[in-house]
Amino acid sequence: MGDRLEEAWERRATEWPAWARTPGHDVHFTRLNWPAFERVLPAPGRLTLDLGCGEGRLGRLLNPAGYRLIGLDSSPTLAALARDSGGYDRVLEADACAIPLDDGAVDLVVAFMSLHDMDDPAAAIAETARVLEPDGLLCAAIVHPLNRPADRLVDYFEHQRAADSVESNGLTMTFDSIDRPLEYYTLALEQAGFVVEALREPRPDAATLEAEPRLAGAAQRPFFLHLRCRRASR
């Protein structure tokens, strides 16, 4: 695992579309993570950047709701899939640490389950601040820093590279990421001039658990962390 995360995700790019696009498969997304994340999003504004857009499923959801979107992903394969998905005005194949947009180009950046998959999320957060207009918003979802195996929680404060393979319903996906403590993200936001407006740890309610028992673990410990952050005026 000596390669960069962006290279690892390009290697996994053939696995991810089936995982993300097979109807009824990714219940953690459809029944827990996405419904809760929608509640921290602002109404559609001028222009939204989907940072780490993957194969484009946020574009397919947000575009019909009235958001104008630019997608960005470092994986050539995933960027091409997002481009073909039809939800974006355009899709950029680029590094999140060097976003090819002008200062203040967008009023919203969505980083949904992407920051922990980056080698340098602090630099990406700083770039996000640059491309946001004054008082613009960053809405981010990450794997909760406590949502990791017990052997990796022992060294919670250490940055730990991980490759977690998950098999479900005949599909296999390996998630390459880096475990980091919560303070890493809040410090990066602080240094980039962001103020946290909302912090959520989504938890399934009783009706959701009855309909989807596979989410039982998320009722006992947090799986995801959601943040809405405002870029301070300069």
**Given this model, what pLDDT does residue 29 score?**
97
Rounded-to-integer distance, Cα 98 and Cα 137, Å: 19
- For the chain, which residues make up each domain, given as ranges? 5-144+181-231
Q: Which of 27, 92, 30 is nearest to 58 (CA)?
A: 30
Position 123 pLDDT exceeds 70: yes
CA angle 184, 146, 155 (to 5 degrees): 70
Interval 5-37: pLDDT, tens? 999 999 999 999 999 999 999 999 999 999 999
**Given this model, what pLDDT does residue 3 score?**
85
Beta strands in 74-211 (DSSP E): 90-93, 106-112, 132-143, 160-168, 171-179, 194-200
**Given this model, what pLDDT does residue 219 score?**
97
**Given this model, what pLDDT does residue 93 score?**
98
Rounded-to-integer distance, Cα 54 and Cα 75, Å: 8
**Given this model, what pLDDT does residue 8 score?**
93
**Given this model, what pLDDT does residue 234 score?**
62
Q: Which of 158, 134, 133, 160 is nearest to 1 (CA)?
A: 160
**Given this model, what pLDDT does residue 217 score?**
96
Position 41 pLDDT exceeds 90: yes
**Given this model, what pLDDT does residue 233 score?**
74
CA 155 to the chain's CA centroid: 24
pLDDT band (50, 70, 90) for residue 232: confident
Give me the chain's average pLDDT, please. Answer: 96
Q: What is the pTM of this model?
A: 0.96
Architecture of domain 5-144+181-231: 3-Layer(aba) Sandwich (3.40)
Question: At which residue do the structure tokens 């690892």 appear?
Answer: 8
Position 89 pLDDT exceeds 70: yes
| Residue 68: Cβ-neighbour burial (10 angstroms; 0-12, 13-18, 19+) | middle
Position 230 pLDDT exceeds 90: yes
Percent of the chain with pLDDT strictly greater than 70:
99
DSSP alpha helix (H) spans, the chain: 5-11, 16-21, 27, 34-38, 57-62, 76-85, 121-131, 150-153, 182-191, 206-211
Please state the rounded mean pLDDT for residues 75-82.
97
